[in-house]
Amino acid sequence: MKNKEQNAQQETKDKIENEEIIENNEENEKVSNSTNTNEPQHEADSSEEETIEDEEEKLQEEIRNLKEDKIRVLAEMENLRKRFDREKIDSIKYGSVNFARDILSSGDNLERALSAINQEEDHPQSIKNLIEGLKMVQKELSNALEKNGISKIISINEKFDPNLHQAMMELERDDIDEGIIVQEIQTGFMMHDRLLRPAMVGVSKKPQQNKSPDNQNEKEIKNKD
């Protein structure tokens, strides 16, 4: 009887010990599993942070590119606006260049007609009235040209300027320096700050020096021979 009880107690004891061993093993497995799961989680968090940083850098780069594009577009728009304003001003100021040149031709003919009339001659009253009428037309034409920014180029006694004058001849003058305009064949005109028509002029030059005495003596000797 005692042996049976002892055996039963021993079995119970062994059973309890086995259960404790099983529980300990289960706890160890849980701890091990928990440790194993934490390591991949940590690695996943690090990878996610790197991905976020890369995306932020890409976004910052895109923002910088967009800012540069915006600045470039604004600069181009400003240049286009300035160019349009310049073209608009030029169109207003110089749009009638061809018409102005045609008017200048008519003014030249009018001036030639007046210069051909002998002012000292005693003309009939009708001719005098015609001359006065032509002078009035000439004055009105000159005023109209000035109102539209067209002005005469002053040439006489001025230094020859190839940007404003067109030399038609050279005239020997000993009393003035070379390159001075001494005659105006056709009046030149400016339209605002642009050349509308160059002035046709005669330019002074020094007269040629007389032949040297040696040459003169040689000529006399030849004549004696």
> In the predicted model, what is the mean pLDDT of residues 99-122?
85
SS (H, E, C) 32-87: HHHHHHHHHHHHHHHHHHHHHHHHHHHHHHHHHHHHHHHHHHHHHHHHHHHHHHHH
Edge to edge, the sheet with strand 165-172 lists: 165-172, 199-205, 181-186
The least confident of 95-99, 123-127, 185-189, 209-213 is 209-213
First to last CA, the chain: 189
Mean pLDDT of 67-96: 86
35 and 107, same domain (yes or no): no
* Structural domain of 197: 152-225
Same domain, 24 and 86: yes
State pTM to two decimals: 0.57
Number of compact structural domains in the chain: 3
- Tell me, yes or no, whether 9 and 21 share the same domain: yes
- For residue range 122-133, list pLDDT tens digits in order: 878 888 888 889
pLDDT digits (tens, 9 = 90+) for 6-43: 556 666 666 666 666 666 666 666 555 555 554 455 55
Q: What is the mean pLDDT of residues 205-219?
A: 60
**What is the reported pLDDT for 212?**
47
pLDDT of residue 5: 58
- Whether 158 and 140 map to the same domain: the answer is no
**pLDDT number for residue 221:** 45
- Map residue 154 onto helix, strand or coil: coil
| 159 band by pLDDT with thresholds 50, 70 and 90 | very high
Query: Does 62 share its domain with 10?
Result: yes
**Which of the pair, 95 or 130, is modelled with greater confidence?**
130
Q: At what angle do helices 97-115 and 125-147 cross, to 10 degrees?
A: 150
Do 99 and 109 belong to one domain? yes
**Domain harbouring 177, CATH code:** 2.30.22.10
Task: Look at residues 93, 120, 137 and tell me which one is the last residue of a structural domain.
Answer: 93
User: Do 116 and 85 sit in the same domain of this protein?
Assistant: no
Please give the DSSP secondary-structure letter assigned to residue 188.
-
Q: Are residues 14 and 89 in the same domain?
A: yes
* Domain limit, last residue, from 93, 110, 139: 93
Q: Do residues 65 and 79 share a domain?
A: yes
The reply to whether 179 and 198 lie within a common domain is yes
What tokens were used for 181?
A: 């305009």
Q: pLDDT band at residue 189, thresholds of 50, 70 and 90?
A: very high
Whether the pLDDT of residue 120 is over 60: the answer is yes
Confidence band (pLDDT; 50, 70, 90) for 195? very high
pLDDT number for residue 19: 65
Report residue 190 as tokens. 């400016």
Per cent of the chain over pLDDT 90 is 25
**204: burial class by Cβ within 10 Å (0-12, 13-18, 19+)?**
buried
Minimal CA–CA distance to 124: which of 116, 132, 136, 134?
132
| Domain final residue pick, 93, 116, 138 | 93
